């Protein structure tokens, strides 16, 4: 497989990398295979699936976004050296609008995350709330790997 995606946990958060390092294997990797669990022999068998090595949409922002306690969308983690870090995002920022559209009008968290998988070069004007103040940030998506 080309550049198999694996995840690493940093302080309770997961970030995705492609590297030859030990990490957490998940659905990003396993969607390429048919997975058989052989419990009797304590092994996992992988066979190439119909989606083997298929290119799947990838994040181009470096943001991990989640639904906060109040139901809003918040930044959980900002990966170092990514467009999100360069734009000034910080963990704990509450998303308020993207390109002038209030976040309450987005279908769900997946819709917001899917925006971060658009083509490199896509630009967003994003308003976040940080410590009670609104911040206007400009995010330009880019290839992360």
Pick the more confident residue, 88 or 144.
88
58 versus 102: which is more confidently predicted? 102
CA distances from 76 to 56, 93, 94 (A): 23, 8, 10
Give the mean model confidence (pLDDT) for residues 102-111. Answer: 90
- Asked if 77 and 89 touch (Cβ cutoff 8 Å), the reply is no
pLDDT tens-digit map of 115-134: 999 999 999 999 999 999 99
Kindly report, residue by residue over 25-79, the tens digit of the pLDDT.
666 677 788 989 888 988 888 899 888 887 777 889 999 999 888 888 999 999 9
Please state whether 138 falls in left (phi above 0), alpha (psi between -120 and 50) or beta. Answer: beta
Show the DSSP H helices in the chain as ranges: 27-30, 83-87, 109-115
Q: Tokens in use for 93?
A: 């920022």
Task: Give the residue, 4 or 88, on which the prediction is more confident.
Answer: 88
Domains of the chain with bracketed CATH: 5-48 (no CATH), 63-140 (2.30.42.10)
Can you count the helices (H) and strands (E) in the chain? Answer: 3, 10
Predicted pLDDT of residue 20: 46
Distance set, CA 22 to CA 1, 4, 7, 42, 105 (Å):
16, 12, 9, 20, 40
> Does 145 or 93 have the greater pLDDT score?
93
Cα separation of 118 and 60, whole Å? 7
What is the pLDDT confidence band of residue 18, given thresholds at 50, 70 and 90?
very low
Q: What is the pLDDT of residue 5?
A: 57
Question: Phi/psi of residue 106, each to 5°?
Answer: -80, 140
pTM for this model (two decimals): 0.68
């Amino acid at each position: 497989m080309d550049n198999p995606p694996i995840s690493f946990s940093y302080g309770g958060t997961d970030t995705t990398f492609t590297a030859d390092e030990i990490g957490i294997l998940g659905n990003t990797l396993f969607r390429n295979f048919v997975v058989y669990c052989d419990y009797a022999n304590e092994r996992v068998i992988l066979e190439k699936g119909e989606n083997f090595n298929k290119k799947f949409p990838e994040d181009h922002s470096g943001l991990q976004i989640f639904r906060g306690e109040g139901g809003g969308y918040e930044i959980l983690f900002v990966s170092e050296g990514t467009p999100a870090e360069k734009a000034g995002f910080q963990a704990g920022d509450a998303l308020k609008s993207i390109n002038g559209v209030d976040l309450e009008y987005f279908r769900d968290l997946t819709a917001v995350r899917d925006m971060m998988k658009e083509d490199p070069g896509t630009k967003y004007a994003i308003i976040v709330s940080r410590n009670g103040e609104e911040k206007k940030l400009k995010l330009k998506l880019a290839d992360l790997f």
